Amino acid sequence: MPEIGSTNIVLPMKPLGVVFDMDGLLFDTEALYRDAMIQTAAALGHNMPVSLYLDTIGLSAEATRMLLRGRFGDAFDLAQFWERASAQFATMATTELRLKPGVVNLLDLLDGMGLPSAIATSSQHHDVQRNLDRHGLRDRFPTVVAFGDYDHGKPHPAPFLTAASRLGIAPQYCLALEDSHNGVRSASSAGMMTVMVPDLLPPTEEMKTLCVGIARCLHEVTTALNGRRT
């Protein structure tokens, strides 16, 4: 069972491709979404505890809507909430959207190894491209699987299975990188070698069972891949 923080993540084989989550894995967006949603809920007269936000991480938009409706009731104006929370996030992201440590180094290594990469996310395509463009990474991810590209969102395996199909690589030969519990469940059930790089959610015993490794940051993933060059 992998331990968090181990610099000795051992991949069972050299992957033929790598599939990245986006929010909380490539970009430090989860804290921004958290603050935007909590502030918006308060402005609408509702209390959103941090624990409720954490329950939404890795879920599809529809699953998140169902969760919020269950908490705040059918009268809760979800359309207004999403519009205002999205606007608040966009304002914060203009100056606060940051790459997670180790992203560029890992992408450079993948290029050097000739390994293709993809994104599998619950976010909308326009959000993915906005984030990539702000850090000049659009060309680094020619394959993007986002909301609308699959029938079932995470924790269902469909997002990662779709990414593997578009890469033309069998799922068991793909390395999946995730920060959320639902994302790990999705990638693992797709049959991928899964490494969790925790962001706001700590690894649980379930996560350790589903993953081949749990890393403190993407630099540790780079180290593990370097050990699997052949």
Out of 21, 127, 179, 199, the active site residue is 21
Which string of DSSP letters, residue by residue, matches 1-68?
Answer: ---TT-S----SS--SEEEE--BTTTB--HHHHHHHHHHHHHHTT----HHHHHHHTT--HHHHHHHH
Q: Is the dihedral of CA 90, 126, 156, 98 positive or negative?
A: negative
**Alpha helical stretches, state H, the chain:** 30-43, 50-56, 61-72, 78-96, 103-113, 125-134, 158-167, 181-189, 205-210, 218-226
Count of Cβ atoms closer than 10 Å to residue 12 Cβ: 9
| 127 is a catalytic site residue | no
| 139 is a catalytic site residue | no
Nearest to 159 by CA among 170, 148, 168, 172: 148
Out of 23, 55, 179, 199, the active site residue is 23
Supply the angle between the helices 218-226 and 103-113 in degrees, to the nearest 10: 20
Q: Which residues contact 145 (CB under 8 A, 6 or more apart)?
A: 118, 119, 120, 121, 159, 162, 163, 166
Give the catalytic positions in this structure: 21, 23
